[in-house]
Structure 1
Amino acid sequence: MSARPQPSRRLFLGMAATAPLAASGVLTLGAGTAHAADSAYVMCYFTESTSLGLGTDYGLHLAVSTDSLNWTPLNQNNPVVTPTAGALGLRDPFLMRKQDGTFVVIATDLKGTDWSYNSQYIHVWDSADLRTFTGYRRLKLHDMTTHSWAPEAFWDAGRGQYAVIYSSVNSSGHNVIMVNYTRDFVTASSPQVFFDPGYDVIDGNMAVGVNGYNYLFYKKNQTLVSARSTSLDPGSFTEYSAGVAHGGTEAPTVFKSLTSNTWYLWGDTYTPNGVFYAWQTSNLASGTWTALDQKTYTQPVNSKHCGIATITTAEYNNLLTKWGSPAWNRLKSYNYPSRYVRHADYKARIDEYPFDLYTDSEWKLVPGLADSAGVSFQSVNYPTRYLRHYSYALQLDVNDGTSTFAGDATFYRTAGLADSSWASFRSYNNPTRYIRHAGYVLRIDPISTTGERQDATFRVGY
């Protein structure tokens, strides 16, 4: 979940544990079973904007990535499916590849931020390929007057069933991680307490069968911490790490790289239109994580509480074919990677995400108005306006059709002056000058120093 208050006291009755399980199985990503051919990643999420207005949507969103760090939102960052029962919205979606190779999606039954809404159900969809979603239903987890927040699932080989874990309030009045078992995500066993350390915990995320241990990650006091066990038995996990945070952080998502021994931990800040932060480790058992430089990763715009799984190259390509990549881009600053190029009062600048309106930072990179070999930046929310320089400062103006405007609004994309894998933009009619930021304001200047090269380098992404 995201941006939730502390729970009030509610009654929840747990059930006796089922038969114990020896640690078995190998986790590749999230809690699912990855195919040997998996070579890419898919993310599910919902969206919230700063003002809970434009850009807020409580449906299922998807994005894809080849490196698990930089993401391409699908369907123009619009939902691919939306609940039609319960609260008519979702939070905290999670997707998993099942044992038969198909996918299941589960999610919190909640639309918006009415934390007093107590649903005994979670949303469920089946999908063969994440291009179509079938069998929509809600799965009942308990009979108590409490919530069923942030459901996730993993395959419990010893029981021959899937375990669905989620956050609910127990008889002591604080959130614990509960578990139900299911073979089909249609009916489920009675609930049990999976993890109760004696204080409030939410947002459970599992890594199963890693060098003899099973790991449970969760939010404790706005920090992401973890527990571990040599079995998957309810009640067997013991906290072992001090945890990480960037401000108030929740919604841990842990997964392993497909190309190295690196594990990644994503977390979500405790606000609407929050920001994802990421950490990495090569040893889960150490409990020690190193923060990643924000230059290395970019979340889908407005995304909240994500889940990540692996997919094949064919599935990656098919998803892009089905849903399409965005018709717009965002430009991230190289030396201020929390900031994006946007217009404000028709002036061009870099500001820290998130901000209203987020669409101020979305641009269509169209063929250059003065030379189609170049590029012009067309505003998404003011489509008659383009970025152009005027007295060397960049501003957003209406295209008046003149050759002067066309020249001022045309730039040549080059390899990034500070990093060749990024991009820089040279002025068409002032070819010794490049777009750069100075005091967070964009202008065109000659570039000579290391600092100026960094100011003039941007990542073109989403």
Structure 2
Amino acid sequence: MSRVLARLCAVAVTACLLFTTWSAATPKEAAALDPTVGYLMAHFTGESSTNQQIYLAHSTDGLRWTDLNNGGLVLRSTVGTRGVRDPALVRSPAGDRYWIIATDLCIGCGQDWSTAINNGSRNLVVWESIDLVNWSAPWLLNVAGPIPDGRNAWAPEAIWNPATGDYVLYWATNVPLNGAAKHRIYYSRTADFRSITTPQVYLSRPGSQEIIDTQIVEVPTGVGAYRYVRASRDDQITIEGSNSLLGTWTTLGNLSGIGLTGAQVEGPMWMKFNSRNEWVLYLDQYATGRGYLPVLTTNPSSPSAFRLPASGSYAMGGTKKRHGSILNLTAAEQTRVLARWPATA
């Protein structure tokens, strides 16, 4: 009898462990988060091996930023090319898990732009956390390897899709397809950023026009005509809308009316203000090397509603902010982050 009981106990323990592992890796239902009070930006700062890592900045108003960790990097990649660019911050629907996903790329670290474009890393770099301050070791997620002749994987983003109960993970890959070798946006679905569905083309421009940077924001009911709006850098900063992440997208216009085109800015980065229905679309002024510029709007789906900021109304901090993403912080999250990486005075 004791031998039978021991075997039954072992089976029960194994089942519990399997359930625990499965539940930790499976997104929970969306929860009502506590009110958000601050903002956290993840970004990289430049072209050296040190600059191409994960940096953080904090803001209380969404327009004036201070560097965390005295302006030093907070996470360093130890995998792949050992450099990262274009980080995206992702929070689970229940608010109990976070990921950073980033381009596995280190220009000037034994790799030039031609190699990165035509024979670069097919992987993304991923970190995971349960508290936003203690992060796992990074791992590589092969997203472009399954794409026939996929040559790299750049500028990843992810957004929760309630229609499918998982994330839409999307990025740019250079692929010779239909007579044109160029970057297109591909997507996969994932629940844990460790395994993905077969990549599919998500966004492509006609002819030889490339598209590398795109980011989607979810818009509340009553603001504009679309639930989702994406801003993409092609030859313009193109604005599109849709009511389904994996459905049809409608071109709404661009930002050339305020003097911003794809020849001047890239790396679109959305942020909603905590206290009101107003948004910032940050754009990286890569042509002049000045980093991010905020563009304001009360309706992301209306290009004519975007406006440039008043002079002196924003400050980006001591480090240059390059292509990244912003997470709206609850009070508890903000307290943890600032305790771990104090803001630069």
TM-score band, normalised by the shorter chain?
Answer: 0.7 to 0.9
Q: How far has the Cα of 1:201 moved from its partner?
A: 1.3
Higher helix share: 2
Aligned to 1:6: none
Identify the range of structure 1 (210-219 vs 290-299) with the bigger mean alpha-carbon deviation.
210-219
Contact 2:86 2:323 in 1 (8 A): yes
* Residue 261 (structure 1) aligned with residue 277 (structure 2): yes
Match of 1:457 in 2: none
* Aligned equivalents of 2:104, 2:285: Cα separation in 1: 21
- Who is 1:120 aligned against? 122
State the partner residue of 1:18.
none
Question: Which residue is equivalent to 1:160?
Answer: 165
1:284 is paired with a residue whose SS is: coil
Deviations along 1:223-256, one digit per CA (max 9) or x if unpaired, are: 322111222226x223221224176100001121
How many Å apart are 1:215 and its aligned residue? 1.3
Show structure 1 runs of 5+ residues with no match: 1-31, 328-462
3-state DSSP class of the match of 2:340? helix
Rounded Cα–Cα distance in structure 2 between residues aligned with 1:269 and 1:40: 24
In the alignment, is the contact (CA less than 8 A) between 2:168 and 2:188 conserved in 1? yes
TM-score (norm 2): 0.78
8 Å CA contact retained: 2:31, 2:94: no
2:36 equivalent in structure 1? 38
The Cα of 1:281 is off from its aligned counterpart by: 1.0
Query: Which among 199, 204, 209 is matched to residue 214 of structure 2?
Result: 204
Task: Give the whole-Å Cα distance in 2 for the aligned partners of 1:34 and 1:205.
Answer: 23
**Greater CA deviation, 107-116 or 70-79?**
107-116
**Match status 1:326 vs 2:344:** yes
The structure that has the greater radius of gyration is 1
Per-residue deviation, 1:217: 1.0
CA contact (8 A) 1:34 1:97 kept: no
The separation in 1 between residues aligned to 2:184 and 2:94, in whole angstroms, is 31
Which residue of 88, 97, 104 corresponds with 1:109?
Answer: 104
Partner of 1:176: 184
Question: How many Å apart are 1:270 and its aligned residue?
Answer: 1.7
CA distance in 2, matches of 1:36, 1:197: 40
Q: How has the CA–CA distance of structure 1 residues 87 and 34 changed in structure 2, closer, same or farther, with 3 Å as cutoff?
A: farther
Could you say which residue in structure 2 is the equivalent of 1:275? Answer: 291
The answer on whether the counterparts of 2:185 and 2:201 sit within 8 Å (CA) in structure 1 is yes
- Alpha-carbon distance in 1 for matches of 2:130, 2:185: 29
After superposition, give the CA deviation of every residue in 1:354-395 in whole Å (9 maximum; x if it has no partner). Answer: xxxxxxxxxxxxxxxxxxxxxxxxxxxxxxxxxxxxxxxxxx
**Which residue does the alignment assign to 1:317?**
335
- 1:188-203 aligned within 5 A: 188-198=196-206, 199-203=209-213
Residue equivalent to 1:88: 82
Q: Does 1:238 align with 2:258?
A: no
The 8 Å contact of residues 211 and 232 in structure 2, kept in 1 or not, is answered as: yes
1:328-366, Cα deviation, whole Å (9 max, x unpaired): xxxxxxxxxxxxxxxxxxxxxxxxxxxxxxxxxxxxxxx
Partner Cα distance (2:167, 2:74) in 1: 25
Corresponding residue of 2:136: 134
Q: Confirm or deny: 8 A CA contact 1:95 1:104 kept in the other structure.
A: yes
Matches within 5 A, 1:38-437: 38-48=36-46, 52=47, 57-101=51-95, 102-112=97-107, 114-115=112-113, 116-117=115-116, 118-143=120-145, 144-170=149-175, 171=177, 172-198=180-206, 199-211=209-221, 212-221=226-235, 223-233=236-246, 236-244=248-256, 245=260, 248-271=264-287, 273-288=289-304, 289-300=306-317, 301-326=319-344
> What is the alpha-carbon distance in structure 2 between the residues aligned to residue 260 and residue 213 of structure 1?
17
User: Where do residues 443-462 of structure 1 align in structure 2 (5 Å cutoff)?
Assistant: none
* Cα contact 1:273–1:303 (8 A) shared by 2: no
Q: d(CA) in 2 for partners of 1:313 and 1:189? A: 35
SS state at 2:301 partner: helix
The whole-number CA distance in structure 2 between the counterparts of 1:266 and 1:162 is 23
Higher strand proportion, which one?
1
Q: Which amino acid aligns with 1:242?
A: N
**Match of residue 439 from structure 1:** none
Shift of 1:147: 1.4
Higher mean alpha-carbon deviation, 112-121 vs 253-262, is at: 112-121
Paired residues of 2:79 and 2:138 also in contact (CA < 8 A):
no
Cα deviation for residue 213 of structure 1 reads 2.8
**Contact persistence 1:43–1:62 (CA under 8 A):** yes
- The answer to whether the 8 A contact 2:124-2:141 is kept is yes
Aligned-pair CA distance for 1:279: 0.9
| 2:214 counterpart SS class | strand
Work out the number of aligned pairs and report it: 290
Distance in 2 of aligned mates of 1:112 and 1:33: 40
Whole-angstrom CA distance in 1 between matches of 2:255 and 2:32 = 27
| Corresponding letter in the other structure for 2:170 | I
User: What displacement does 1:36 show?
Assistant: 3.5
**Whole-Å separation in 2 of the counterparts to 1:88 and 1:305:** 18
Q: TM-score, normalised on structure 1?
A: 0.59
Give how far 1:125 is off. 0.5
Q: Report which structure shows greater RCO (CA 8 Å, sep ≥6).
A: 2
Counterparts of 1:37 and 1:61, CA distance in 2: 25
- Pair 46,34 (structure 1): closer, same or farther in 2 beyond 3 Å: farther
Return the offset for 1:297: 1.1
Task: Please name the residue that 1:445 is paired with.
Answer: none
**Cα distance change on mapping 1:257 and 1:178 into 2, 3 Å:** same
Structure 1 residue matching 2:338: 3-state secondary structure: helix
Q: Percent identity?
A: 28
Residue 178 to residue 259, structure 1, CA distance change in 2 (3 Å): same
Distance 1:112 1:272 in 2: 19
